[in-house]
Structure 1
Amino acid sequence: MISYNPKDWWKLIFAFHKSDTFRSLLPGILGVAAYTVVVAYIENDIFHASFKNTTVVHSLVGFVLSMLLVFRTNTAYDRWWEGRRLWGSFVNNSRNLALKLNAFLPHHPEIRKTFKVLITNYILAAKEHLRSGVHVKHLENIGEYDSQFYSKKKHVPNQIMGAIYDEVNTLYQHKQLTGDQLFLINEELRSFTDNIGGCERIKRTPIPFAYSLFLKKVIFLYVFTMPIGFVVEFKYWAAPIVAIVFYIFASIEVLAEEIEDPFGTDANDLPTDTIYETIKANLDEIL
Structure 2
Amino acid sequence: MIINRKIPLKFLLEEIKLPLCIVLFLGLVFGLIPNYFPDLFPVFPMGIPTTLGIAISILLSYKINQSYNRWWEARKIWGEIVNDSRSLVLQLQLYLNEDDALLHKISHYQIAWCYALDSSLRRQGFPERLETMIAGEDLYRIKKQTNIPLAINQFQTRAVRNLYENKMYDEFARTQLEETLTRLVASMGKCERIKNTVFPPTYGQTLNAAIYLFVIFLSLSSAFQLSLVLQIVILISISTVFFFLQKLAHSLQDPFHNYPTDTPMTSLSRTIEINIRQLLEEENIPEPLEPNKFYIM
Tell me the TM-score normalised to structure 2 length: 0.85
Task: Report if the CA contact (8 A) 2:64-2:249 is conserved.
Answer: yes
Q: CA deviation at 1:222?
A: 2.2
Match of 1:170 in 2: 162
Q: CA deviation at 1:48?
A: 8.3
The worse-fitting range, judged by mean Cα deviation, of 108-117 and 272-281 is 108-117
Structure 1: gaps of 5 or more residues: none
Task: Report if the CA contact (8 A) 1:77-1:256 is conserved.
Answer: yes
Q: Does 1:132 align with 2:123?
A: yes
Task: Report if the CA contact (8 A) 1:130-1:263 is conserved.
Answer: yes
Q: Does 1:262 align with 2:251?
A: no
Q: Look up the SS of the partner of 1:234 in the other structure.
A: coil
Find the aligned partners of 2:19 and 2:201 in 1 and give their Cα distance.
23
Find the aligned partners of 2:124 and 2:16 in 1 and give their Cα distance.
30
Q: Residues 156 and 79 from structure 1, CA distance in 2 versus in 1: closer, same or farther, beyond 3 angstroms?
A: same
Q: CA deviation at 1:93?
A: 0.4
Find the aligned partners of 1:163 and 1:130 in 2 and give their Cα distance.
20
Q: CA deviation at 1:36?
A: 1.4
Q: What is the 5 A alignment of 1:233-272?
A: 233-236=225-228, 237-272=230-265
Q: CA deviation at 1:265?
A: 2.2
The letter of the residue matching 1:3 is: I
Q: Residues 47 and 232 from structure 1, CA distance in 2 versus in 1: closer, same or farther, beyond 3 angstroms?
A: farther
Aligned equivalent of 1:159, options 129, 151, 156: 151
Match of 2:9 in 1: 16
Q: Does 1:36 align with 2:27?
A: yes
Task: Report if the CA contact (8 A) 2:164-2:174 is conserved.
Answer: yes
The letter of the residue matching 1:258 is: S
Q: Does 1:228 align with 2:199?
A: no
Map Cα deviations across residues 141-182 of structure 1 (whole Å, 9 max, x no partner): 445554312112101111000000000000000000210111
Map Cα deviations across residues 237-259 of structure 1 (whole Å, 9 max, x no partner): 21111112221112122111111
Q: Residues 214 and 16 from structure 1, CA distance in 2 versus in 1: closer, same or farther, beyond 3 angstroms?
A: closer
Aligned equivalent of 1:67, options 42, 58, 71: 58
The worse-fitting range, judged by mean Cα deviation, of 136-145 and 23-32 is 136-145
Task: Report if the CA contact (8 A) 1:95-1:279 is conserved.
Answer: yes
The letter of the residue matching 1:160 is: I
The worse-fitting range, judged by mean Cα deviation, of 150-159 and 244-253 is 244-253
Aligned equivalent of 1:47, options 19, 38, 44: 38
Which structure 1 residue ranges, 4+ long, deviate > 6 Å from structure 2?
A: 48-53
Match of 1:202 in 2: 194
Find the aligned partners of 1:220 and 1:185 in 2 and give their Cα distance.
56
Tell me the TM-score normalised to structure 1 length: 0.88
Find the aligned partners of 1:118 and 1:147 in 2 and give their Cα distance.
11
Find the aligned partners of 2:41 and 2:203 in 1 and give their Cα distance.
36
Find the aligned partners of 2:197 and 2:41 in 1 and give their Cα distance.
49
Match of 2:292 in 1: none
Find the aligned partners of 1:188 and 1:48 in 2 and give their Cα distance.
73
Q: CA deviation at 1:277?
A: 0.5
Find the aligned partners of 1:87 and 1:245 in 2 and give their Cα distance.
37
The letter of the residue matching 1:25 is: I
- The number of residues matched between the two structures is 278
Map Cα deviations across residues 39-62 of structure 1 (whole Å, 9 max, x no partner): 222213553899777321111121
Task: Report if the CA contact (8 A) 2:44-2:220 is conserved.
Answer: no
Aligned equivalent of 1:277, options 262, 270, 275: 270
Q: Residues 232 and 152 from structure 1, CA distance in 2 versus in 1: closer, same or farther, beyond 3 angstroms?
A: closer
Map Cα deviations across residues 221-280 of structure 1 (whole Å, 9 max, x no partner): 223332122685323121111112221112122111111111132111111111000000
Structure 2: gaps of 5 or more residues: 281-297
C-alpha root-mean-square deviation of aligned residues, in Å? Answer: 2.3
Map Cα deviations across residues 17-41 of structure 1 (whole Å, 9 max, x no partner): 52x2x22322432442243133222
Find the aligned partners of 1:230 and 1:85 in 2 and give their Cα distance.
50
Identity of counterpart residues, as a percentage?
25
Match of 1:81 in 2: 72
Q: Look up the SS of the partner of 1:261 in the other structure.
A: coil
Match of 1:2 in 2: 2
Q: Does 1:115 align with 2:69?
A: no
